[in-house]
């Protein structure tokens, strides 16, 4: 017992040390957030004293800014974990860290969402009435009671997963896959459930025409799957700067592509909704009219929703067009656009039209009061502080700065284990996308190699052609759907002219599996065995090929260190 | 069932005990116990009695008036129904004010359980209804009036959505709220299609001389900040055989009330002799509040 206590105090004192040791920027950032939190606390104290009268909510619009933010944040929480799916499918190298950072973000977002509920309810000291056993949750009938359970379950699940991974690393052990994999497997559908149940809270109300559309839950997911990853992309880029977090550009662009699809679905569902309401033009149309064009001169929400629509549409195109999404300036602009666009759409753009006009046809125009905004900013800043500290701890554990004193020291990858740079074959022979297949074949034969990287005009690796690709071409020609469609619908001169399968670009494997020069041997082995490939192209920061590590190189390296 | 209660009691007693002992001034002990009591519906008659006495004492001190709180149970064989004769209603809002005097709602950030809507003759579009009409004289020639209050739905969406069972339908059909259990989440307000539910946005203000001291626990006892309230068909009156205040005050007799199960009742007379309708029937909330027209424009 005493030992456990000591271990815990040890851990926490260590954690405090790494958490609060930082650069001037770090302190500035934390001070700023703390100030906002304090302002929020002050406003909340006032609200506790005076009641919710200091908000602009009233009988007509009985939910406002708080619940709007709650809804949005549940989406962020869900999407942060859902990002594990593409990371897994596309074999992002940093998947372990993506899992941890995603789950940390989910924890933060759920906590913020819960705080938004807490500040919204009239009697927070009675919140325990919703707890099973102690209180009287209205199960199974009340969706809100379900939501409370599902959200808390989600929170606990993610906390457990993160703690488990963290503790293991702290003690220098590899987390057991038999525990991690099921955890992640549960948390993914749970993330979907969390957001769906939240949508159902609104969706099930016959009194509110705007919410009472079956499209609501699917739209929730689609929009969450665009705003959540948009936030993660921004976070990833920051992390990539400040720590050893090797998420490759390829992975980032892949996520960006997913954002485009999710946003596309979201916009489509929105249009479907608009069509249905406008063509029917029945009573259900009124809230939507209020939202997009205003009713009888009441149009406070109109500029908001058009801003959102504008941002979402532009964001969609930014992410849809590969050339634009692969430019970090437009990419980041797009992330911010989509984040704000969805925040409006899933926040005030969703909650308010539920109440305007109200059940008896009255229009009460709502905009949050200064206090509501201050309290909300306070909660968001609190989330910012939490996430910063979480991330710092995660980084410290990962780099070994925070580690149990008896834990085996982290294998200093830089020194002992060889890096890709030490074992790769340099002198890379590469080909361009328009190199004919025959030529590639003779290159392979001449240099006695089994594969070559394909580079674009800026010498960036875009694919690999291996012996098997060449052999494969003979038996199976990969159908290219886009090309086929283009050949059907475009006028002749624009059609894709070249004979299929004759050039490097047609047969190469893309995206290529690449790694940076400082990738440790262990990781190289893992990638090669997991993906059942024969070689990894080693690239520099400009994505130019600088070497190749093939299976035989690995064998040689392993042999060397086993001495 | 029994076992569950035991565990709950134990947990609550522990919390209550801990808080009470750590808190200076143990005179508040009873208050703390009430904070961690069970739901009203789960209390035994004895517990209710003690609880009501403490509440009475607290309220009397707070308002400086002796306040009486009862918890008259529903009468067997009674389900209340209401009918409103739109052809008679003159839109004078006397029901609104009588309700305020009877039911102790807050006067600051005004809460009124009844809303009278003014509609143009020849139209029945709620979106075009005027809520804040104030002519010199009512009735006005080109309008008619439709008062709306809690419809005491047989199938109440407000009850369904409440996450903590703070609101429920009593056996006599009245939908009530336990103001000491409501967490103020306002989900029920979003779910009610008739805007019947009101929230206490601040500490309710009731002038001492206007306070009605005859109250019911589930009805018109003074409420607190942060909870939801609504019309209860004057539960404090009707469970004792009296008319709701609004029925009594209506100068033109537009409001009818009675026991739906009693074939001799006024409400049954209306249902059998006039064509009635209910608001938003399409939502299947099955209100026990009927509207009818007994005469032409006249
Ligand atoms: S009218 Fe509204 S508050 Fe009254 S029972 Fe029906 S849903 Fe509930
Ligand atoms: S406001 Fe009160 S009565 Fe209404 S749903 Fe919430 S807890 Fe239940």
Q: What is the pLDDT of residue B1?
A: 39
CB of A57 within 8 Å of a chain B CB? The answer is yes
Domains observed in chain A:
17-399 (1.20.1630.10), 420-562 (3.10.580.10)
Looking at per-residue confidence, does A396 or B219 come out higher?
A: B219
Q: Measuring from atom 2 of ligand 2, which residue has the nearest CA?
A: B182
How far apart are the CA of A145 and the nearest CA of chain B, in angstroms? Answer: 5
Nearest to A129 among B126, B148, B183 (CB): B183
pLDDT band at B237 (very low <50, low <70, confident <90, very high): very high
CB of B181 within 8 Å of a chain A CB? The answer is yes
pLDDT band at A89 (very low <50, low <70, confident <90, very high): confident
Task: Give the pLDDT confidence of B136-173 residue by residue, as tens digits.
Answer: 998 999 999 999 999 999 999 999 999 999 999 999 99
Q: What is the pLDDT of residue B34?
A: 67
Q: Is the preceding omega at residue A421 within 30 degrees of 0, hence cis?
A: no
Looking at per-residue confidence, does A476 or A45 come out higher?
A: A45
Whether B199 and A63 lie within 8 Å, measured CB to CB: no
Task: Give the pLDDT confidence of A432-462 residue by residue, as tens digits.
Answer: 888 888 888 888 888 888 888 888 888 888 8
Say what percent of chain A tops pLDDT 70: 93
> What residues of chain A lie within 8 A of the CB of B285, using their CB?
206
Q: Say what the ipTM of the complex is.
A: 0.89
- Pocket residue to mutate for ligand 2, from B157, B168, B182, B227, most atoms within 8 A of Cβ: B182
Task: Give the pLDDT confidence of A478-509 residue by residue, as tens digits.
Answer: 555 666 677 677 766 666 554 556 788 888 88
> What residues of chain A lie within 8 A of the CB of B198, using their CB?
59
**Domain extents for chain B?**
37-298
Q: What is the pLDDT of residue A339?
A: 96
CB of A531 within 8 Å of a chain B CB? The answer is no
Q: Is the pLDDT of residue A155 over 90?
A: yes
The secondary structure element, H or E, covering residue A462 is: strand A461-466
**Average pLDDT of every residue of chain B:** 89
- pLDDT mean over A9-21: 81
Q: What is the pLDDT of residue A242?
A: 75
CB of B126 within 8 Å of a chain A CB? The answer is yes
Please give the structure tokens belonging to residue B67.
């306040």
Task: Give the pLDDT confidence of A320-367 residue by residue, as tens digits.
Answer: 998 898 889 999 999 999 999 999 999 999 999 999 999 999 999 999
CB of B129 within 8 Å of a chain A CB? The answer is yes
Please provide the distance, in angstroms rounded to a whole number, between the alpha carbons at the two ends of chain B: 61
**Average pLDDT of every residue of chain A:** 87
Task: Give the pLDDT confidence of B8-61 residue by residue, as tens digits.
Answer: 555 555 555 444 444 444 345 556 666 677 888 888 888 899 889 999 999 999
- pLDDT mean over A71-79: 94
Whether A133 and B163 lie within 8 Å, measured CB to CB: no
**CA distance linking residue B121 with residue B180, whole number of Å:** 43
| Stretch among A213-227, A397-411, A505-519 having the lowest mean pLDDT | A397-411
CB of B145 within 8 Å of a chain A CB? The answer is no
> What residues of chain B lie within 8 A of the CB of A59, using their CB?
111, 189, 195, 198-199
Q: Which residue of A has its CA nearest to B1?
A: A133
- Pocket residue to mutate for ligand 2, from B159, B164, B192, most atoms within 8 A of Cβ: B164
Q: What is the 3-state secondary structure (H, E, C) of A185-238?
A: HHHHHHHHHHHHHHHHHHHCCCCCCCCCCCCHHHHHHHHHHHHHHHHHHHHHHH
pLDDT band at A470 (very low <50, low <70, confident <90, very high): confident
| Stretch among A56-60, B30-34, B64-68, B193-197 having the lowest mean pLDDT | B30-34
How far apart are the CA of A345 and the nearest CA of chain B, in angstroms? Answer: 19
Task: Give the pLDDT confidence of A225-254 residue by residue, as tens digits.
Answer: 999 999 999 998 888 887 667 777 888 888
Q: What is the pLDDT of residue A260?
A: 93
**CA distance linking residue B276 with residue B267, whole number of Å:** 11
Distance A202 CA to ligand 2 centre (A): 15
CA distances from B171 to A163, B261, B290 (A): 50, 12, 19
Q: Which residue of A has its CA nearest to B8?
A: A134
Please give the structure tokens belonging to residue B28.
């508040």
Whether B201 and A205 lie within 8 Å, measured CB to CB: no
Looking at per-residue confidence, does A407 or A101 come out higher?
A: A101
Distance B161 CA to ligand 2 centre (A): 8
Q: What is the pLDDT of residue B22?
A: 43
Q: Is the pLDDT of residue A413 over 60?
A: no
| Stretch among A92-96, A385-389, B26-30, B118-122 having the lowest mean pLDDT | B26-30
> Ranked by mean pLDDT, which of A229-238, A400-409, A548-557 comes out on top?
A229-238
> Ranked by mean pLDDT, which of A130-134, A308-312, A423-427 comes out on top?
A308-312
**CB within 6 Å of ligand 1 — which residues?**
B 150-153, 156-158, 175, 192, 194, 196-197, 230, 285
- pLDDT mean over B71-86: 96
Tell me which residue has tokens 């690449």: A514
What CA dihedral angle connects A149, A358, B173 and B78, to 10 degrees? 170
Ligand nearest the Cα of residue B163 is 2
Q: Is the pLDDT of residue A91 over 80?
A: no
Q: What is the crossing angle of helices A370-399 and A24-50, to 10°?
A: 140
Tell me which residue has tokens 């209180």: A135
How many contacts (CB atoms, under 8 Å) link A and B?
148
Handedness of CA A405, A408, A411, A416 (dihedral sign): positive
Whether B148 and A63 lie within 8 Å, measured CB to CB: no
Say whether B148 sits in a helix, a strand or coil: strand
Q: What is the pLDDT of residue A5?
A: 86
> How is B185-198 classified by DSSP, letter by letter?
--HHHHH-TT---E
Q: What is the pTM of this model?
A: 0.81
Substitution target from A128, A146, A360 for chain B, most B beta carbons within 10 A:
A360
Whether B8 and A134 lie within 8 Å, measured CB to CB: yes
Q: Is the pLDDT of residue A181 over 90?
A: no
Looking from the CA of residue B161, the nearest atom of ligand 2 is 5
pLDDT band at A414 (very low <50, low <70, confident <90, very high): very low
The CATH number of B37-298 is: 3.30.70.20
Distance B152 CA to ligand 1 centre (A): 5
Pairing of strands A514-516, B276-277: unpaired
Q: Measuring from atom 2 of ligand 1, which residue has the nearest CA?
A: B192
| Cβ–Cβ < 8 Å for B157, B193 | yes
| Cβ–Cβ < 8 Å for B32, B209 | no
Looking from the CA of residue B183, the nearest atom of ligand 2 is 7
Task: Give the pLDDT confidence of A281-304 residue by residue, as tens digits.
Answer: 988 899 999 999 999 899 999 999
| Cβ–Cβ < 8 Å for A251, A101 | no
CA distances from A147 to A117, A131, A192, B41 (A): 12, 12, 12, 24
Which residues are registered as beta bridge partners of A454? Answer: A431, A463
| Stretch among A219-223, A533-537, B229-233 having the lowest mean pLDDT | A533-537
Q: Measuring from atom 6 of ligand 2, which residue has the nearest CA?
A: B185
pLDDT band at B91 (very low <50, low <70, confident <90, very high): very high
> What residues of chain B lie within 8 A of the CB of A143, using their CB?
161
Whether B199 and A360 lie within 8 Å, measured CB to CB: no
Whether B185 and A359 lie within 8 Å, measured CB to CB: no
pLDDT band at A477 (very low <50, low <70, confident <90, very high): low
CB of B187 within 8 Å of a chain A CB? The answer is yes
Which residues are registered as beta bridge partners of B82? Answer: B257, B289
Q: What is the pLDDT of residue A206?
A: 93
Distance B150 CA to ligand 1 centre (A): 5
Is the minimum distance from the CB of B167 to ligand 2 under 6 angstroms? Answer: yes
Q: What is the pLDDT of residue A20?
A: 76
pLDDT band at B276 (very low <50, low <70, confident <90, very high): very high
Q: What is the pLDDT of residue B171?
A: 96
């Amino acid at each position: 017992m005493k030992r456990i206590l000591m271990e815990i105090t040890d851990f926490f004192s260590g954690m405090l040390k790494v958490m609060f040791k930082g650069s001037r920027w770090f302190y500035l950032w934390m001070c700023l957030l703390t100030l906002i939190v304090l302002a929020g606390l002050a406003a909340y104290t006032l609200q506790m004293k005076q009641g919710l009268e200091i908000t602009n909510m009233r009988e007509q619009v009985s939910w406002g800014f708080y619940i709007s933010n709650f809804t949005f944040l549940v989406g962020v929480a869900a999407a942060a974990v859902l990002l594990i799916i593409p990371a897994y499918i596309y074999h992002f190298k940093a998947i372990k860290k993506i899992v941890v950072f995603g789950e940390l973000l989910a924890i933060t977002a759920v906590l913020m969402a819960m705080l938004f509920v807490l500040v919204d309810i009239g009697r927070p000291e009675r919140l325990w009435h919703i707890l099973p056993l102690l209180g009287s949750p209205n199960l199974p009938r009340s969706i809100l009671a379900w939501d409370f359970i599902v959200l808390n379950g989600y929170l606990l699940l993610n906390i457990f997963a993160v703690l488990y991974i963290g503790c293991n690393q702290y003690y220098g052990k590899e987390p057991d896959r038999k525990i991690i994999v099921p955890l992640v497997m549960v948390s993914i559908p749970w993330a979907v459930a969390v957001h769906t149940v939240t949508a159902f809270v609104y969706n099930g109300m016959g009194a509110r025409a705007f919410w009472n559309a079956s499209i609501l839950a699917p739209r929730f997911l689609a929009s969450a799957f665009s705003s959540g990853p948009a936030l993660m992309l921004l976070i990833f880029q920051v992390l990539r700067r400040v720590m050893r977090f090797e998420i490759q550009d390829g992975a980032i662009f892949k996520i960006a592509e997913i954002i485009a699809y999710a946003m596309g679905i979201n916009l489509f569902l929105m249009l479907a909704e608009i069509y249905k309401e406008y063509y029917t033009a029945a009573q259900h149309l009124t809230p939507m009219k209020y939202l997009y064009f205003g009713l009888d001169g009441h149009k406070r929400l109109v500029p908001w929703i058009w801003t959102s629509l504008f941002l979402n549409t532009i964001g969609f195109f930014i992410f849809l067009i590969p050339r634009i999404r692969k430019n970090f300036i437009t990419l980041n602009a797009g992330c911010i656009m989509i984040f704000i666009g969805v925040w409006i759409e899933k926040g005030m753009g969703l909650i308010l039209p539920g109440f305007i006009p109200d059940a008896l046809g009255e229009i009460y125009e709502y905009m949050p009061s200064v206090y509501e905004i201050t309290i909300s900013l306070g909660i968001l800043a609190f989330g910012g502080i939490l996430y910063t500290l979480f991330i710092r701890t995660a980084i410290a554990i990962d780099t070994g700065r925070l580690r149990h004193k008896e834990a085996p020291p982290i294998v200093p990858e830089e020194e002992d284990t060889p890096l890709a740079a030490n074992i790769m074959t340099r002198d890379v022979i590469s080909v361009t996308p328009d190199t004919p297949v025959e030529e590639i074949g003779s290159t392979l034969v001449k240099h006695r190699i089994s594969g070559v990287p394909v580079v674009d005009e800026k010498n960036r690796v875009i694919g690999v052609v291996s012996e098997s690709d060449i052999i494969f071409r003979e038996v199976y020609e990969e159908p290219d759907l886009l090309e086929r469609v283009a050949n059907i619908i475009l006028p002749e001169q624009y059609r894709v002219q070249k004979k299929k399968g004759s050039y490097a670009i047609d047969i190469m494997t893309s995206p290529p599996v690449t790694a940076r020069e400082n990738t440790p041997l262990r990781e190289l082995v893992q990638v090669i065995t997991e993906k059942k490939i024969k070689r990894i192209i080693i690239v520099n920061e400009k994505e130019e090929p600088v070497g190749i590590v093939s299976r035989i190189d690995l064998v040689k390296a392993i042999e060397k260190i086993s001495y | 069932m029994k076992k569950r209660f035991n565990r709950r009691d134990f947990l609550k007693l522990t919390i209550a005990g801990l808080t009470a002992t750590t808190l200076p001034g143990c005179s508040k002990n009873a208050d703390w116990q009430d904070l961690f009591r069970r739901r009203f519906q789960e209390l035994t008659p004895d517990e209710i009695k003690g609880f009501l006495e403490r509440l009475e004492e607290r309220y009397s001190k707070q308002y400086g008036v002796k306040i009486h709180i009862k918890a008259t149970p529903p009468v067997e064989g009674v389900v209340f129904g209401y009918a409103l004769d739109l052809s008679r209603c003159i839109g004078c809002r006397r029901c609104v004010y009588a309700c305020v005097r009877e039911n102790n709602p807050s006067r600051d950030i005004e809460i009124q359980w009844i809303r009278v809507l003014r509609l143009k003759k020849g139209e029945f579009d709620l979106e075009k209804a005027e809520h804040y009409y104030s002519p010199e004289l009512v009735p006005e020639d080109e309008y008619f009036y439709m008062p709306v209050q809690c419809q005491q739905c047989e199938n109440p969406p407000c009850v369904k959505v409440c996450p903590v069972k703070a609101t429920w339908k009593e056996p006599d059909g009245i939908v009530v709220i336990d103001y000491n259990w409501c967490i103020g989440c306002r989900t029920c307000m979003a779910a009610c299609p008739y805007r019947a539910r009101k929230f206490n946005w601040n500490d309710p203000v009731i002038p001492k001389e206007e306070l009605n001291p005859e109250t019911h626990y589930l009805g018109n006892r003074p409420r607190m900040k942060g909870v939801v309230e609504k019309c209860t068909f004057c539960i404090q009156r009707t469970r004792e055989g009296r008319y709701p205040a609004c029925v009594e005050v209506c100068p033109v007799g537009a409001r009818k009330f009675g026991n739906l199960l009693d074939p001799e009742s006024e409400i049954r007379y209306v249902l059998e002799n006039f064509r009635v309708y209910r608001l938003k029937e399409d939502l299947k909330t099955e209100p026990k509040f009927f509207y009818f027209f007994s005469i032409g424009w006249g």
